[in-house]
Amino acid sequence: MREIFRPAAFALTTACLALALSTISSGEVLAQAKQAPPAKQAPAQAAPPAAAEAPAVKQIALTEKQIQGVLAAQKDVDAITDKIPDNAKPDPKIDAQLDAVAKKNGFASYDEYNSVVDNISLVLGGFDPATKKFVGTEVVLKAQIAQIQADKKMPAKDKKEALADLNEALKSPPPAIENKGNIDLVAKYYDKLAEALGESEE
């Protein structure tokens, strides 16, 4: 069951993370939001409807250096953010640590690092985990809905919650990728990015 649900949870987490991060502007809250992704810890929690009305992620053209910086920084960022309790108030010391990690890995600030992660996550959400090809978020979500519907081993309650979350994500999909070069760049690093950004959120 876990192996079947994992791709769905990853895509839903990516979609919800992109939507949630687009509503938050400060690095302090971003670190705390990353701490408790809705699909991994409580499948029943869907992105709030208000998130659909929020401004979309500011899309940027990614560079190979930025992707390598995210991959290099991810373990250190996770080590810091994993210690932040849920609903914690912003802490200047933690902000300083996150900024230091970001700067050490080639970013001007933790905010810039988050902007790059947002853009990577936006693209990753459109990759089919089985083929590792970009097909678009809507296609991925529909495939995951079909996969969960066909799963006979998944408990009915979990199935209902997962389907509700995926259908909600389908109603308010992330924006289209503006910088098509980002797709090729993320494809080149797909395995590493999926591991770093997907596994770290479990």
Give exposure, 6-34, as e/b (b: 16+ Cβ within 10 Å): ebbbbbbbbbbbbbbbbbeeebbbbbbbb
The span from the CA of 110 to the CA of 49, in Å, is: 27
pLDDT at 184 over 60: yes
pLDDT at 81: 93
Q: In this prediction, what percent of the chain has a pLDDT beyond 70?
A: 70
pLDDT at 174: 87
pLDDT at 7 over 90: no
Phi, psi (deg, nearest 5) at residue 3: -70, -35
Q: What is the mean pLDDT of the chain?
A: 77
